[in-house]
Chains A and B, each alone.
Chain A
């Protein structure tokens, strides 16, 4: 079992050793080391499948020499491998506007994302298994149909990080993750996620609530709405978060503006007056909050949208330098695309913890009459990032009659079409309740969507 001090010492030692190894041949260097453990149990039908990960190391490195930027990444705890890869990359360094890396300040190891119970649970896999079994059992016990097909799982993980640059201290942080996810018959799903460990009460409530809350009847668009139609729908916070990260980021990321791919400017009206959005890359207790972002800028809370008006574009160090000649907003993240590992991914502008203030309407009352609550769309990643338009099959949702769930949306029989940017401007309601998704705290919202 790895002690906290031992773990921090090990990531610090690797980061500082790599830094020292390349100090004489670089102008500046940035080394980010992660060491992680994880235990998960997947629910696959009746089976519970264990999966453990121990001592997974990831090293992400950048160096500057003569106005050029070099990048390398390794896994493993070998200083030779990491420093060797970085030294080799110097010959391939490219001209870059990034003039320096962050100057880091001495702080105690940061634990804003650490939960002791979650950290300890990793060393007790039998308890994690038990949580997964409880969740599945709770779902089955609430189901009228014994042939219910379940998939999902429970996961806990812990990560220790060290970030070092040529200037200043080495910043240490530790975080944990706990999550549970359950899907019924490949369509309806529920989840919980955060830095804390899942609890028995939490996973039982998830399983019971998901299955017990599903109306037995299912409907098609024709049966419920009389055919394809634009209606004001209620959007689940998790779908709202997916759309914000997939589409709204393309509008408010300063790197997109610098590239000419977004024309957004502070002062633009981007939402209805009832909509405000905060980004907090330093949020405590969030999987999207940390003491520093992936290039060492302090995590911080920004007002992105205030009553519908764009107040801040989100920036990493490079885009901030190019566009403003100024400071990053702490939104430089190694966001992997497709087959990239996070340590390999270039730093891109991303979102931290998202926070939308609550409104004053109960969530199921946001849209009167016949409408639907949309939990998820299939393949949001394929939506049109250039325009904000989407057109995807519905995955999970219920038909509502004056706020009362009366039927499930028949799997495979519904699709939703809209433009997320237009929807934000046309929001007609924000719920009084909010959900902590693990990476965001968001309400349910009401907006026009075409259903077919």
Chain B
């Protein structure tokens, strides 16, 4: 377990801090308030394409600064600058001032105060820091291990073609403002994605598996070139599923019409993020684009879900749903406005009870910021999710095993995996990678081809009626909002059961 005690100081702090402070002093001569965010990322990476081409990039560096200028009357503008040199920053401020002059007054604009203003340092020091220790052997070992695993999955007439994308990055950020706030954070994040394509003549099938967590790649592959046991198991399982999918089928129209339940594996919970997370982001609410919360902050739909639905966004939870401060692919200690990240309870007992906030939206709604204000490398800070997870209260509805959960299911389907989702105002859509039919309370061996799971936001949670297994922020992904991407997860108990309803639908290709 990592922890944030003795948080490290970002490299180059002695040069960056004075540059940001000088820029902010300059800005303060022009506007009442300004803040600055400098993000810098050192990344080492391996790509292996389906062609077999392998690319190892031991050192990529990127960074950018976002400066926010707040003028009289709530006028405000954000400017992104390519680096933290003082001349670049002054030029960016001057350009921002031109834009600020065109802004009308916005009396409702303000920024909620940054809690714990005196604490400066956050984060965890990298182990085997890839800036100092050549990461190439570990990256190459990953690729070799994936190749070997794929080769072991080949059967008569079937090739398994792997693709790998893995990286470890050291993320450093500085947040400062004209009121004297100065905070930094250092985080290491590791990510592995493997795609297995099973190919038999003209027929292809694929599965994709991802791992992502605070910390480096050593948590996935050891110095001996072997995967961690749980990683090896998961990869082998997904490889074998890809091969089995060559002989899978779709559900028939009769089966779809007769479905009594959907059971979503934790790898297929992207609808929590897409359909329920985005509409509770306070900036989307304010713009009028949420189907479930009105711009004033009151719920449009109440209850949103059944009484057993509880959704939390924050650092990743443990198996019981309690937050762990330093775990989860979407986790940070402070957001990109310097606000310490705290868990935000969004839905409890089926009712919407909170929203995710940046400093700006927190001010508008008169609440404390939740640490959801994030930027993609110098872009404008907007409200973003972190780890958005179904964390139910304990009760009879939450059982230990899938077998128990399936009791009483007449005709159901257990859906696994997703290759991505998308959201509209009314609902969401996500692909499913595969499924298994359930008949009379028992899981059958009938494997189902990829489909498309759609859910209407206003009602899809109403038929959630049971859970099985521990909570896990399993769904590692990258959320696009506007033109920005951010690492996130979604998750919940190992299995989530929904009764069939007009709010959810499953369809198949072809």
Residues of A bordering B, CB below 8 Å: 35, 39, 42, 44-45, 47, 49-57, 69, 71-78, 81, 84-85, 88-89, 91-97, 123, 125-126, 129, 147, 149, 151, 185-187, 255-256, 258-261, 263, 318-319, 337-339, 341, 344, 346, 348, 378-379, 381-382, 384, 386-387, 389-393, 395, 411-412, 415, 417, 419, 452
Contact = CB atoms under 8 A, between A and B. Distances in A.
Nearest to A148: B288
A126 to B, nearest CB: 4
B34 interface: no
A151 B61 contact: no
30 contacts: A47-B287, A52-B95, A53-B378, A54-B79, A54-B81, A72-B60, A76-B63, A76-B82, A76-B83, A89-B57, A91-B134, A92-B134, A92-B139, A94-B53, A94-B54, A129-B99, A151-B287, A151-B289, A186-B289, A259-B49, A339-B487, A341-B62, A344-B57, A346-B53, A346-B55, A378-B422, A382-B431, A389-B509, A391-B508, A419-B509
A417 B509 contact: yes
A142 to B, nearest CB: 18
B151 interface: no
Say which size band chain B's interface belongs to. 35 or more
B2 interface: no
Q: Which of B92, B103, B509 has the most CB of A within 10 A?
A: B509
B374 to A, nearest CB: 13
Contact of B206 (A77, A125, A149, A386): A386
Given A51-B78, A94-B56, 13 more contacts: A49-B380, A76-B61, A186-B424, A187-B424, A341-B62, A346-B47, A379-B431, A382-B452, A386-B206, A392-B429, A393-B427, A415-B452, A419-B509
Contact of B421 (A56, A318, A379): A379
A42 to B, nearest CB: 7
A92 B56 CA distance: 6
B286 A94 contact: no
A191 to B, nearest CB: 14
B204 A261 contact: yes
B194 interface: no
Given A92-B56, A344-B60, A57 B82 contact: yes
B507 A260 contact: no
Nearest to A147: B288
Interface of A is mostly: mixed
A438 B482 CA distance: 19
B250 to A, nearest CB: 10
B429 A379 contact: yes
B58 A75 contact: no
Contacts of A186: 289, 291, 424-426
Contact of A69 (B51, B55, B508): B55
B455 to A, nearest CB: 9
A378 B61 contact: no
A348 B505 CA distance: 35
A393 B454 contact: yes
Contact of B426 (A57, A71, A412): A412
Contact of B45 (A91, A261, A344, A379): A344
A139 to B, nearest CB: 14
A55 B451 contact: no
Contact of B507 (A45, A187, A417): A417
A61 to B, nearest CB: 10
A382 B450 CA distance: 11
Nearest to A319: B51
A389 B50 CA distance: 20
A218 to B, nearest CB: 11
Contacts of B204: 261, 386-387
A411 B51 CA distance: 40
A149 B287 contact: yes
Contact of B136 (A42, A91, A337, A392): A91
Q: Which of A78, A129, A255, A259 has the most CB of B within 10 A?
A: A259
